[in-house]
Amino acid sequence: MTTTAAALFDVDGTLLDTTYFHTLSWWEALRQYDRTVPAARVHRAVGMGADQLLDHLLGEDRDHDADEAITAAHDALYARHWPAIEPLPDAAGLLRACAGRGWRIVLASSASERELAVLRRVLDADEVIAAVTTADDVAATKPAPDLVRAALDRAGAEPEHAVFVGDTVWDVAAAGRAHVPCVAVESGGFAAQELLGCGAAEIHRDSAELLAALDGSLLARPPH
């Protein structure tokens, strides 16, 4: 029986240079609703979905009445940056190289369908993307494992036949809870030491460095 091997890729900060657009958009959205949080703290929470991010920044015991409005403000502010979004170095080339080695490529994103469509156009590698996830596919976002498990389901792969690629400590934690090894990149602003401390199996500066080092990576060849 043929085993499906899946390479699961986070999108924001891993394949596309969006982390600081998200940081600025959340920071400004929070200020609009009189929640002042230092931008550095906001940046450290990017990579979580809105459900987790607001609890992390504002506390779980707060008044939740403004959550939906804050999230909508973030989405509107972030959409202003869409024309400026660029792929990270060799991101599409990395996906194509992994697909060429026999990996089934899944974008493990908690973006909305509308936002993901924009991101996919910028990435320009649809011919090798086998499946995607969106916010609608999970009850809880990273660091919960739901998104990684949804991506595995989309791929039709077992955890032992998959590798997750991400850029935040939340990615590493989510992959670990789903029993999938995580290859981490530093392009989202987390340092190698932090990512390794959370359990990342290997670290690369960005997608281009991972592509150059592919032969020595967990992505070198699919498990059989």
CATH at residue 76: 1.10.150
Is the pLDDT reported for residue 210 higher than 80?
A: yes
| Helix boundaries (H) for the chain | 19-32, 39-45, 50-58, 67-79, 91-100, 113-123, 146-155, 169-177, 192-197, 207-212
Boundary-marking domain end, from 66, 83, 100: 83
Task: Give the CA count within 13 Å in the CB-facing half-sphere of 170.
Answer: 27
Kindly state the average pLDDT of the residues 189-193. Answer: 97
What is the CATH classification number for the domain harbouring 150? 3.40.50.1000
Q: Check residue 110 and give its pLDDT.
A: 87
Do 148 and 73 lie in one domain? The reply is: no
Q: Mean pLDDT throughout 150-158?
A: 97
Q: Is residue 26 part of a domain?
A: yes
In a domain, 221, yes or no: no
pLDDT band at residue 13 under the 50/70/90 scheme: very high
Say whether pLDDT at 1 is over 60: no
Please tell me whether residues 183 and 134 are part of one structural domain: yes
Which residue has tokens 């609009």? 32
User: What is the percent of the chain with per-residue pLDDT over 90, rounded to a whole number?
Assistant: 91
**204 pLDDT above the threshold of 90:** yes
Domain end position, chosen among 33, 53, 83:
83
Residues 92 and 78 occupy one common structural domain: no
Whether residues 114 and 209 share a domain: the answer is yes
Domain for residue 1, yes or no?
no
Q: Does a structural domain hold residue 40?
A: yes
Q: Are 46 and 73 in the same domain? A: yes
Q: Domain boundary at 83, 101, 131, which?
A: 83
pLDDT-derived band of residue 51, with 50, 70 and 90 as boundaries? confident
CB atoms within 10 A of CB 131: 17
Q: Is 185 helix (H, G, I), strand (E, B) or coil?
A: strand
Q: Is residue 223 part of a domain?
A: no
Asked, for residue 120, whether it belongs to a domain, the answer is yes
* pTM, full prediction: 0.96
Same-domain pairing of 29 and 138: no
Calpha distance 125→5 (Å, rounded) = 19
Q: Which pLDDT belongs to residue 117?
A: 96
pLDDT at 165 over 90: yes
Q: Distances from the Cα of 42 to the Cαs of 5, 30, 47, 164, 194, in angstroms?
A: 35, 10, 10, 24, 17
Q: Which of 54-58, 137-141, 168-172 has the lowest mean pLDDT?
A: 137-141
Residue 184 lies in domain: 6-18+86-216
- pLDDT tens string 92-147: 999 999 999 999 999 999 888 999 999 999 999 999 999 999 988 998 889 999 99
Could you tell me if 122 and 196 lie in one domain? yes
Please choose, from the candidates 28, 213, 21, 190, the residue with its C-alpha nearest in 3D space to the C-alpha of residue 118.
21
Q: What is the pLDDT of residue 213?
A: 98
Total tally of structural domains belonging to the chain = 2
**Residue 97 and residue 198 in one domain:** yes
Q: What is the structure's pLDDT at 44? A: 97
- Residue 222 inside a domain? The answer is no
Taking 80 as the threshold, does the pLDDT of residue 224 lie above it?
no
Q: Is residue 192 part of a domain?
A: yes
Nearest to 13 by CA among 164, 134, 165, 121: 165
Is 33 in the same domain as 136?
no
Same domain, 95 and 173: yes
Residues 140 and 77 in one domain: no
